[in-house]
Structure 1
Amino acid sequence: MINFIGTGSAFNTKLGNTSAFVKKNTSLLLIDCGGTVFHRLQKSNLLNGIENLYIVITHTHPDHVGSLGDTIFYSYFILKHKPTIFFSNKEVIEGLLNKLGVTSDMYNLNTSDKVAVNDSQLGEFNIEFVPVSHVNTIPTHGFIMKLNNKIFYYSGDANSINSKILDNFKKGEINRIYQDTCGLDYDGNAHLSLKKLCEAIPEELRDKVYCMHLDEHVEEKAIEDNGFNLAKVSGDK
């Protein structure tokens, strides 16, 4: 459903900051924009010829917004159009970007909890933001997206999967889950351990779950041995 630019946690620099995208012709939908993302966008030529850029932000930790300013600047000055940013809190995102010198006239901002877009290339897509448990210092969201008649849940950074998401997944109303997954398991962890993911997802549904935001402590083999998929960077085997 989506492709990945990076799949690592903040400190797992080998895998790059977790970010995903959908591209069709001159339209690009980007999920999160951490510190390593703009460089990877340039290296992979993903921004070449883009006329419609949409950026979904789950929260404002650096590994999710670290190169958001660069990406907006590039879109505004080089591609000659304003990207559309989807984020739940106007004050937080505008305050962050203003401090970087990114003024509000350089982008369009949508802070609705439920978004419906009809793009000439991507077609119609819908986003419903869902508050998640991560940290108490900033607003953090995952989201449900409907795209090409498929529905997926993207956790962002989260240490749990709420019961409504799980129920809808078990009923087949959500086709796929992309879940923040780590190796460390301890009380107060801001991310979801593989152990807890195994407890949450029945074995018969694990082939529809893609693990992302991987830390250095989770073994890829352990993820696959437990029946889950690894989110992989576009082009990787």
Structure 2
Amino acid sequence: MLKFIGIGSAFNTDLGNTSAYIKKEDRMLLIDCGGTVFHELQKQKLLEGVNQIYMIITHTHPDHVGSVGEVIFYFYYLLGKKATIIYPHKEHIAKFLESVGVSGEMYELLAINDENQEIYIQDQYLGKIGIRHIPVTHVDTIEAYGFILKIQGKTLYYSGDANQLSTEVIQGLKNGQIDVIYHDTCGLDYEKNSHMSLKKLKEMIEEPYRNKVYCMHLDKHITKAEILKEGFRIVERYKEMDQ
């Protein structure tokens, strides 16, 4: 369902910062926008013809928000449009954007300051979109979220960066309420790891459901073969110019 601009962890730069999107007609839903993402958007000509962009942010580490400002500037200055930012806490994201020179009149913000409520968007081409952020454990220094996304008749869970998977999400996968999971997965496995190791993911997801789980945000200590061997799937970088 999602197409990926990059699939790597912060230090696995050969794979690009993990970011995904859905694009239809002149509308784009973009998930995270790390430091390498705007360059790839330009390189792959993904922004050509886009007049409305919605950006879901999971947390404010540089490999997830490093070029959010550039995207906002691109729409505001070159297109005369406002990007829409989706994040649970208005004050937090507004403060971050201000710190990189983005003023409030340059973007629209959808933030309800309640992780338990769903944000709804009705878009002409993308249709009805439902987004509910879910707090995840990642690091102690900043808040981090995964989210449940309902779009085009499907429901997916996107973890952002997380070292845990909630019972709600696992149960939703098992009972069919969640069609697919995209999860942060790494090869390193150690105590207090801020990311989900493949070993830990195996313990949390039973074998019959693993073909609905896509591994992303990959570090240099994991291979595609290892992921597939355990029954999981792996996201691939999408190259629009090659299509």
Q: TM-score, normalised by structure 2?
A: 0.95
The partner residue of 2:132 within 128, 131, 137 is 128
| 2:36 paired residue number | 36
Instruction: Give the secondary-structure state (helix, strand or coil) at the position aligned to 1:55.
Output: strand
Cα distance in 2, alignment partners of residues 18 and 63 from structure 1:
8
How far does the alpha carbon of each residue in 1:145-165 deviate from its partner, in whole angstroms, 9 at most, with x for none? 111111000000000101111
Does 1:167 find its partner at 2:171?
yes
C-alpha distance in structure 2 between counterparts of 1:148 and 1:140, whole Å: 26
Q: Secondary structure at the match of 1:137?
A: coil
Describe how 1:166-205 pairs up with structure 2 within 5 A: 166-205=170-209
Q: CA deviation at 1:20?
A: 0.2
Query: What SS class does the counterpart of residue 129 from structure 2 fall into?
Result: strand
CA distance in 2, matches of 1:83, 1:188: 36
Q: Structure 1 stretch 84-93 or stretch 63-72: which is displaced more?
A: 84-93
- The match for 1:53 is 53
1:227 to partner: Cα distance:
0.7
Q: Within 1, Cα distance between the matches of 2:100 and 2:134? A: 27
Using the size of structure 1 for normalisation, the TM-score is 0.98
**RMSD between aligned residues:** 1.2
Instruction: Show CA shifts across 1:53-90 (max 9, x none).
Output: 10000000000000001110001111220010001122
Correspondence for 1:88: 88
- Asked whether the 8 Å contact 1:89–1:139 carries over to 2, the reply is no
CA distance in 1, matches of 2:108, 2:64: 19
Query: Counterpart amino acid of 1:72?
Result: I
Q: Distance in 2 between matches of 1:61 and 1:101?
A: 17
Q: Which runs of 4+ in 1 moved over 6 A?
A: none
Across the two proteins, how many residue pairs are aligned to each other? 237
The answer to whether the 8 Å contact 1:28/1:50 transfers is yes
Q: Which amino acid aligns with 1:174?
A: I
CA distance in structure 2 between the aligned counterparts of 1:96 and 1:118, rounded to whole angstroms? 27
Aligned partner of 2:226 among 204, 222, 226: 222
Q: One-letter code of the match for 2:50?
A: I
Amino acid corresponding to residue 32 of structure 1 in structure 2: D
- Structure 1 position 13, deviation (Å): 0.4
CA contact (8 A) 1:49 1:79 kept: no
1:64: which partner in 2? 64
